[in-house]
Amino acid sequence: MERRAFRLNGFLVLLVLLVLAAIAAVVSLEDLALVWVVVFVLVASGFTVVNPNEAKVVQFFGRYIGTVQDAGFVWVLPFSYKSKITLRVRNFETAKLKVNDADGNPVEIAAVVVYKVTDAAKAKFSVDDYENYIAIQSEAAVRHLATTHPYDSHDPSRTSLRDGAEVATELTAELRDRTELAGIEVVEARITHLAYAPEIAQAMLVRQQAGQVVAARTRIVEGAVGMVHLALDRLAAEGVVELDEERKAQMVSNLLVVLCGDRAIQPVVNTGSLYA
């Protein structure tokens, strides 16, 4: 949609205008004085300044005639309306939104969005206000993301909101699709705030702690079973001692108590009977 507008070097046009004004002053044609004033005003209305990383969208009586992105002092079609659109990389942070995640738990979530305008004409004419447009679309995308993923997931095949890189990639891709029609490129979108809602935060903290305890105990038991199995195999292979099934069961029980216990174990030394 965007196209380059006709433009000339502003200093060159200004020089020509001043030369013509000087000629008119030397000739002193009073009858043409009004004509020179009209010409001067007409030509001067086409001057504009374009700053770096900025675009001027040029309209001539409501008709779009092109965009100027070359920084400097330029001259375009006289009596045209020139709208300034910044091309700089910009960012903003969404408000903290309260949404139910995929498991139905209320969470608070916010994100930072980094974007820039790549098509000034689309940003000007496709939407009413491109800044307000991307803000609303960002909020909608964050809400959608929160409802499709759980806050925390113990299933490795399921993406949770705490998986920063994967969630950021998904959010960025969705925002790019939503804002493409407005001539905006989303550079990056990333979650900046994620927490359970205050009314369930304490309960979810207890659940998380319990889950961590269970996971830790599971690892401990798995390791203890492996160590007991290794100990029995080594004793049997090296012939250190022969154990019947009852003594094996007792040894397994004692080793598991030692390895899986969360307190220091006080050993009991059997010295035999004091009396014959």
Backbone angles phi, psi at 158, to 5 degrees: -115, 125
Q: What is the mean pLDDT of residues 145-159?
A: 82
CATH of 90-196, one of 3.20.20.140, 3.10.110.10, 3.10.20.30, 3.30.479.30: 3.30.479.30
Q: Is 186 exposed, middle or buried (0-12, 13-18, 19+ CB in 10 A)?
A: buried
Question: pLDDT value at position 276?
Answer: 44
74 has a pLDDT exceeding 50? yes
Query: Which of 4, 11, 76 lies closest to 45 in space, CA to CA?
Result: 76
What local confidence, expressed as pLDDT, does residue 2 receive?
A: 79
pLDDT band for position 267 (50/70/90)? low
Residue scoring higher pLDDT (154 or 187): 187
Q: Place 18 in a pLDDT band, splitting at 50, 70 and 90.
A: confident
Q: If you average pLDDT over each of 85-99, 146-160, 228-242, which comes out highest?
A: 85-99
pLDDT at 182 (0 to 100): 92
Dist. CA 16–CA 251, nearest whole Å = 105
pLDDT at 257: 67
Q: Under a CB-based contact definition with an 8 Å cutoff, are residues 48 and 26 in contact?
A: no
Predicted local confidence at residue 119, as pLDDT: 93
At 274, the pLDDT band (50, 70, 90 cuts) reads very low
Distance of CA 274 to the CA centre of its chain: 76
How far CA 114 is from CA of 2, 131, 175, in Å, comes to 22, 12, 11
Per-domain boundaries in the chain: 8-85, 90-196, 201-260
Instruction: Name the average pLDDT for the chain.
Output: 82
- Which residues lie below 8 Å from residue 76, measured CB to CB, with a gap of 6+? 5, 6, 7, 8, 46, 48, 56, 58, 68, 82
Tell how strand 81-86 and strand 106-117 pair up. Answer: unpaired
pLDDT at residue number 117:
94
Is the pLDDT at 21 greater than 60, yes or no?
Answer: yes
How much is the pLDDT for 262?
Answer: 60
Q: What is the pLDDT of residue 39?
A: 81
Per-residue pLDDT of 177-192, as tens digits, reads 999 999 999 999 999 9
Least confident of 20-29, 77-86, 91-100, 170-179: 20-29
Polymer length of the chain = 276
